[in-house]
Structure 1
Amino acid sequence: MLPNLRGSPTRLRPGSRVAIVSPSSPGPGVFPHVHELAMKRLQLELQLTPVEYPTTRQIGATPRERAIDINAAFADQSIEAIMATIGGDDQITILPFLDADLIAKNPKPFFGYSDNTNLLNYLWNVGIIGYHGGSTMVHLARPGGLHPLSTASLRAALFTGGDFELQPVTEFSEDEQDWNDYKAWADPDGLQPSPVQSSVGWHWHQPDRVVTGPTWGGNQEILDWNLAVSRWIRNDMADYSGCVLLLETSEEMPSSTYVFRTLRNAGERGLLAQFPAVLVGRPKASNIEVRLGQEERVQYRRKQREAILNAFSIYNPAAMIVFDVDFGHTDPQWILPYGGFITVNGPERRIIVHYG
């Protein structure tokens, strides 16, 4: 059965103390100019008080040291939320050092995405609602300032709660700013957002029902790792029954073959059959090293969509799926609850987030 999920006991307010942690890559230590801009905006624009932990900027911190910071942030009664600075590729190694009992007794919202899917899934298993999105170096230090759409959902998650209706965006961006360009980041007013592309909105597959359920999922590559180690995936697949699956891929731009095979593996375990509705994040088709042409980007997204439809046609042909919802690695990014409820209204083509 589903865990008894709990959110934050209180909404944040101006001056609330927020833990700033680096459970994966030491981005703040490598790019301190980007991190400091994020902290400045956290204070000036969101009016929150950042509290850095020993490994937040530490390059080479061990998994145990990073886990100590996570445990301490949950244990500290003065901390009202926890934000990851950035993702990475080894967060799975800190999970064995986390204190599940301590964390479960001190629920508070955790924000992050990408490699932070590890922590979001871990918290889901101990009964705590997290938030997919909100990594500080990406969203707060964004070139050109905070994106109004991303920030609206972040504010709803942090401060106001309630129901929040997502909207298809008219433009999105995916080309990254070079964080090594110290001169550009020294003048944040001079930073330019990455080039934008026009959006054709969401793609609906079988929008024939209304589904309300708690969310689970996150970054597909990280979910694949969790399934491989079998420590933070429940043995009884029925525990996921009725959840709305969140699914998105990273800037590493996995192939459509990889996307299909990992979903096939999940399907063979009976996992895909549990989800009546699926939200798929807009795939990122560009990174700092690979800049595809516009038609190549369209084809990359089309092939990924086809791979996902192929997998679900085999393992859950009745699923309602919405593609190109902006909660993945592109910009803007909706901040979605992880374990909290979402309504996917197919007949009306609406997605409503319930922030509690």
Structure 2
Amino acid sequence: MTPPACPAKPSAGDRIAVVSPSAGLPGLFPRPYELGLERLRKEYGLEPVEYPATRTMDSTPRERADDLHAAFADPDIKAVVASIGGDDQITVLPLLDRELIRANPKPFFGMSDNTNLLAYLYNTGIVGYYGASVMVELGRPGAMHPQTAESLRAALLTTGAYELKPAEHWTDVHRDWADPATFDGEPETRPGTGWTWLNAGRVVEGRSWGGCLDIVGGLLMADREISHDLSVYEGGVLFLETSEELPSGEEVFRTLRAMGERGLLQRFSALLMGRPKAWSFEHPNSPEEAARYAADQREAVLRATRAYTPGITIVFDVDFGHTDPQLVIPYGGTVRVDGPARRITVTY
């Protein structure tokens, strides 16, 4: 497999597509969406262009695929950004025109359910970017987290190496978008706890693959966008994180076990585990409950890696995915995990 190419980045004044490949939640919660669009204009100098299904709840997979085709095919559009995630983007994948997208490569930014499209782009030969949805990170109440804003600026507008840094302060608690008071100030955060390294005696540099573990599990079950030629993942850097659905430690273990039984898990030389989101509106865990949840997830990861890939370099609590701040991870790009120096460098 030819290594994916990095599409050219937009410049100030360029038009970028804003699409909803999963769910048209901007139609239900316009405030964080409009705030995100405003920041794209004022803080990043870009002109967002909305597509027909972007604010449409219950749009069909065909309508969402049409929006993606239009965004990639338009030569005036220089990047594509997801409004938010959802839960059925896997139904859009069979409707996509791979040759059209391959012929019109553009940077795509999204996370969570957008793991589907990022895995698709990986197999299409295009580097994508895991992170930075319009409603969540760009539409954060009060202000963007400074580490999110800096990482997104580097990934969206520049090329080259970028060193990830542990969060100085973070949160996984989100307030109700339907409550206007939510937008009166920034979320409360707590001091950062750093990253935890395991088997850190070497340097690993390779292409990245992964995303939201819930969605990776769906791709495994559907046998979709995971190459049968597992050599394409050899020596790569796997990055995984879990969503607001708060999968149990046992669920995490079973998905990793399935990856191991397929022979996929063993192909990677390093694993970056995102800081677990341990709070949701359905499960408003106390700090003690959240700590137990995170510990259970870590033990599940260790059980699976001990069984299938002992010795793999692991970094826990890396700040990407469903917690805040959110560092952008290239999908199919180069990631360098320097164990002795305790440094993670990505190439945007």
TM range (shorter): over 0.9
Pairing 1:4-153 to 2, within 5 Å after superposition: 4-8=3-7, 10-153=8-151
C-alpha distance in structure 1 between counterparts of 2:29 and 2:38, whole Å:
15
Gaps (5+ residues) in structure 1?
none
Shift of 1:105: 0.8
SS class of match (2:244): coil
Q: Encode CA deviations 1:179-230: one digit per residue, 9 max, x unaligned.
A: 111x336xx5x2x222212222101010011011110000000000001111
User: Which residue number in structure 2 is paired with residue 159 of structure 1?
Assistant: 157
Question: Counterpart of 2:248?
Answer: 255
CA RMSD for the aligned pairs?
A: 1.1
Query: What's the counterpart of residue 265 of structure 2?
Result: 272
Partner SS, residue 226 of structure 2: coil
**Aligned counterpart for 1:352 among listed residues 339, 345, 348:** 345
* 8 A Cα contact 2:9 2:107, kept in partner: no
Residue identity opposite 1:99 in structure 2: D
TM-score, normalised via structure 1 length: 0.96
Other-structure match for 1:184: 181
Asked if structure 2 preserves the Cα contact closer than 8 Å seen for 1:82 and 1:109, the reply is yes
Give the conservation status (yes or no) of the 8 Å contact 2:32–2:141: no
Native 8 Å contact 1:3 1:125 kept in 2: no
Q: Secondary structure at the match of 1:96?
A: helix
Alpha-carbon contact 2:9-2:79 (below 8 Å) kept: no
Q: What is the distance in 2 between the residues matched to 1:230 and 1:352?
A: 31
Residue 320 of structure 2 aligns with which residue? 327
* Partner Cα separation in structure 1 for residue 271 and residue 101 of structure 2: 29
Q: 2:301 maps to what in 1?
A: 308
Structure 2, gaps ≥5 residues long = none
Residues 1:243 and 2:241 aligned together? no
Q: Tell me the SS of whatever aligns to 1:284.
A: coil
- Determine if contact 1:150/1:332 at 8 Å carries over to the other structure: yes
Secondary structure (helix, strand or coil) at the match of 2:283 reads: coil
Q: How far apart are the structure 2 equivalents of 1:221 and 1:273? A: 19
Percent of paired sites with the same residue: 53
Partners of 1:287 and 1:161 in 2: how far apart? 35
Alpha-carbon separation, structure 2, partners of 1:36 and 1:307? 39
| TM-score in terms of structure 2 length | 0.98
Match of 2:292 in 1: 299
**Counterpart of 2:101 in structure 1: which amino acid?**
I
Matched residue, 2:311:
318
